[in-house]
Amino acid sequence: MRPMKWLNEVKWDAQGLVPVIAQEQGTGDVLMFAWMNREALQKTAELGRAVYFSRSRKKLWFKGEESGHVQTVHSIRVDCDQDVILLTVTQQGHQPGIACHTGRHSCFFSVLRGGVWQATEPVLKDPQTIYK
């Protein structure tokens, strides 16, 4: 496989990772935050679907591999410092799309109100039925 110069331009952290934000193409909703290593970013570009790196499992995580909630990638952007990736995605699977392991549309479902975190999005599907 030939070297990909664009991958060398990303500023990877000491663990070889870069933070990634997934944003829904149609609504602009920020769906989730995750991490990618070099291989995950390369596979995401090649496959046109989100592939992340699971820090807890220490392996590639093909979004939707268990849940079916695949993210189709429309664009891959890097910020001005080249140390954060922004994916523009369409969330597949259950409609409306579920990006969060809690069964919600977005992982950013809690809002700080009066010094307390309050969930503002409903659970669309019981997570016990999503993951085996």
- Ordered by start, the domain boundaries in the chain are 15-130
Residue 39 has a pLDDT of 97
CATH of domain 15-130: 3.10.20.810
Give the separation between CA 86 and CA 130, rounded to whole angstroms.
26
Contact present, 101 and 90 (Cβ < 8 Å): no
Q: What is the pTM of this model?
A: 0.85
Per-residue pLDDT of the chain (132 residues; tens, 9 = 90+): 455 799 999 999 999 999 999 999 989 999 999 999 999 999 999 999 999 999 999 999 999 888 888 899 999 999 999 999 999 999 887 666 888 888 888 888 888 899 989 999 889 888 788 766
Residue 66 has a pLDDT of 82
Here the tokens at position 39 are: 């291989």
Give the separation between CA 68 and CA 129, rounded to whole angstroms.
12
Half-sphere exposure of 22 (CA within 13 A, CB side): 28
CA angle 12, 64, 101 (to 5 degrees): 85
Residue 13 has a pLDDT of 97
